[in-house]
Amino acid sequence: MTTLFVRHEVSDYATWRKTYDAFHQVQKANGVTAQAVYRAIDNPNDITVTHEFATFEAAQAFSKLDELKAAMRTAGVLGAPTMCFANKA
């Protein structure tokens, strides 16, 4: 199992969350098996999201989706997100 960690700042959490929740079907169709959302304690617009996948290849393909990039723009993501992939040890 591979986890994709995505961290980014958003202009408004409520707007971002609405777009994120609406993106659920795209996540599921592209191999996301579990997900979680975290907000930084000192900045509620600093978001970290985890998405779990069966394989690294599925995680990598998801991270490159044009639909994902478009959703991030719509959601008000500021700047480029930081992404990293990890396997549970």
Tens place of pLDDT per residue across the chain (89 aa): 999 999 999 999 999 999 999 999 999 999 999 999 999 999 999 999 999 999 999 999 999 999 999 999 999 999 999 999 999 88
CATH number for position 74: 3.30.70.100
Q: Under a CB-based contact definition with an 8 Å cutoff, are residues 7 and 81 in contact?
A: yes
What is residue 8's three-state secondary structure? strand
* Sign of CA pseudo-dihedral 70, 72, 75, 77: negative
**pTM confidence score:** 0.92
| Separation of alpha carbons 47 and 39, rounded Å | 5
Domain range enclosing 57: 2-87
Total domains in the fold of the chain = 1
Two tokens, residue 70:
């478009």
What is residue 43's three-state secondary structure? coil
